[in-house]
Structure 1
Amino acid sequence: MTTAFYPGSFDPMTNGHLDILVQALNVASRVIVAIGVHPGKAPMFSFEERAALVRQSLGEVLPDRLGDVDVVSFGNLLVHAARDHGADLIIRGLRNGTDLDYEMQMAGMNHRLAPGLQTVFLPAVTASQPITATLVRQIASMGGDVSAFVPKAVRDALKKKLGR
């Protein structure tokens, strides 16, 4: 049984995140979605809200795989959190060459810190390449339609959170 650790802020979950999660489930039998929690940052959604949105979003596309996904928080080094949860792989999504340059650096450092922990890069589908959670938050907060960028559960949560 292979366990993958998929870290991110997921604030909010986007279609790009969901695409990478679905791909990760093709690579690993179990995926731990690891939501980074940092005391100095004020996310739009709480950890609990983000965790629920990850589950709801996956449930929209792969309800039969919900049992293969855990959602946890972490605030320590990624490699330590991955090891604490018994992960064999770290999953990272790539949208473009800039992501690849950054992620290669991170994978190299993570390998030095935890040599047995393998990083796997998964490419974003073309439609997801321009999507970032930051842009989604900005568009939604200014009254824009983010339906094309997020799962339905996230769209509804954004409308509720922003009073729309």
Structure 2
Amino acid sequence: MTKIVGLYPGTFDPITKGHTDIIRRAAKLVDHLVIGVAINEQKRPLFSLDERVDMIKDAVAEFDEGARAAVTVEPFDDLLMSFAEKKGVTMIIRGLRAVSDFEYEFQMVGMNSFLNDEIETVFLMADPQYQAIASKLVKEIARLGGKIDDFLPPSVVPKLIAKYS
């Protein structure tokens, strides 16, 4: 039987409870889940690549048992489909919060299928309690001194607060 390798790519600046919800659910669908941390300096991340990788590893370590997948966290700075091919990925996992997410993701699936039509993209709808969470908004709340505990894994909260103190 073929091993199902999933890839959940993103910038994760920082990882939110919305991200961890998708990771937790995706880990039930695959044998190995690679969380691909995009370097993408164009987005001007608040956290360094190493900080983002460490935060994701800490957040994933907080999970309860029950996932069937081995989960690894790996940075990448090349084309998503090239990274996916290197990792033997059979499925790209994307989270959707709203219709606007779908429009962007629809375009990405079309382009990615031109690059490699053997890798499928699977969409997981965000849990309703996490649909409004976006890293960009959480950073703005933290910058202005607002409460961020409901949006982030517990291990991430002090790290984001420290960036703005």
Q: Please state which band the TM-score falls in when normalised by the shorter chain.
A: over 0.9
Question: Unaligned 5+ residue runs, structure 2?
Answer: none
- Tell me which of 103, 125, 128 is aligned to 2:127: 125
Structure 1 regions of 5+ residues with no counterpart? none
State the match for 2:36 in structure 1.
34
Cα deviation digits, residues 3-36 of structure 1 (max 9, x gap): 1011000000001000000111011111111111
Bigger Cα displacement from structure 2, 95-104 vs 7-16: 95-104
Q: 2:19 & 2:42 partners in 1: Cα distance? A: 23
Alignment match, 2:160: 158
* CA shift digits 1:98-140 (9 cap, x unpaired): 1112111111110111110100000100011011110011111
1:57-136 paired onto structure 2 within 5 Å: 57-62=59-64, 68-136=70-138
The alignment status of 1:8 with 2:33, answered yes or no, reads: no
Residue type matched to 1:50 in 2?
R
CA-based RMSD of the aligned residues comes to 1.7
More helix by share: 1
Cα pair distance change 1:126/1:141, threshold 3 Å: same
> For residues 40 and 98 of structure 1, do their structure 2 counterparts lie closer, same or farther at Cα, with a shift above 3 Å needed?
closer
What secondary structure sits across from 1:43 in the alignment?
Answer: coil
Identity of aligned residues (%): 36
| Distance in structure 2 (CA, Å) of the matches to 1:22 and 1:140 | 25
User: SS at the partner of 1:26?
Assistant: coil
SS of structure 2 residue aligned to 1:21: helix
TM-score, scaled relative to structure 1: 0.93
The CA deviation at 1:65 is 5.4
Deviation at 1:64, TM superposition (A): 7.0
**Counterpart Cα distance in 2 of 1:2 and 1:67:** 9
In the alignment, structure 1 residue 19 sits paired with structure 2 residue 37 = no
So what's the TM-score if we normalise by structure 2?
0.92
Secondary structure class of the residue paired with 1:31:
strand
